[in-house]
Structure 1
Amino acid sequence: MHITFSDDPPIFDGVDLEINFTALVDGQPVVCAITVEALEDHFGAASAREEHVLPAYEQGRARIRAVCAEALDENGGQPVVLRSGLFRVAGMEPK
């Protein structure tokens, strides 16, 4: 399975309190998300407001994508919602 990420800008979803972004799994788009809670807990977002979570996403983009790619690989390329606890799983903490 070949996993890359679209250069499309992430989209804030204020209803579900997530940032949506697009992964490409074998060239096919798969919409994935990271919760605002994860951005607050692990990437320094000061609140759930869009102006706080989008910069936190940008700052953590490399790690978010790495964790997302691992999750996509483990679930066969299905959409993923990255929650705070996932970043505490062994092997997914920053080095």
Structure 2
Amino acid sequence: MDITFPPSVPQYDAQCYTLVFPVCVDGKRIECGITAEALEDHFGARSVRETDLVEAFDEHRHAIEDTAVTLIRATRGAPVLLHSGVFRVYGS
């Protein structure tokens, strides 16, 4: 399974308090996300404000993408939502 992350700024979903980011899986684009809670708990986001979340995402992008790859492989290419519990299991 070929999984890549196009260079882009994650989009803030204020209704769900998540950042959404694109992933290409075998040439098909899917949308994945990470919760504000996960970014606060594991990556030092100072608040649920968009700027704080994006800053934490950018600083820890590699670890977030590595975890996303693990879950995308486990779900055979399905979109995933990374929440705080995921990082307790897979580390950060």
TM, length-normalised to structure 2: 0.96
Aligned to 2:7, the other structure's residue is in SS state coil
Q: Report deviation, 1:88.
A: 1.1
Q: Tell me, which stretches of 5 or more residues in structure 1 are unaligned?
A: none
What amino acid does structure 1 have at the position aligned with 2:32? C
Q: Which residue of 1 aligns with 2:10?
A: 10
What amino acid does structure 1 have at the position aligned with 2:10? P
Segments ≥4 residues shifted beyond 3 Å: none
Q: Report deviation, 1:66.
A: 0.1
CA distance in 2, matches of 1:23, 1:2: 10
CA distance in 2, matches of 1:51, 1:21: 15
Q: Tell me, which stretches of 5 or more residues in structure 2 are unaligned?
A: none
Q: Report deviation, 1:8.
A: 2.0
CA distance in 2, matches of 1:84, 1:62: 16
CA distance in 1, matches of 2:73, 2:18: 21
What amino acid does structure 2 have at the position aligned with 1:93? G
Q: Report deviation, 1:28.
A: 0.7
CA distance in 1, matches of 2:71, 2:14: 24
Aligned to 2:60, the other structure's residue is in SS state helix
Aligned length: 92
Q: Which residue of 2 aligns with 1:53?
A: 53
Q: Which residue of 2 aligns with 1:65?
A: 65
After superposition, the CA RMSD in angstroms is 0.8
Counterparts of 1:1-95 in structure 2, within 5 Å, are: 1-89=1-89, 92-94=90-92
**Percent of aligned pairs sharing the same letter:** 40
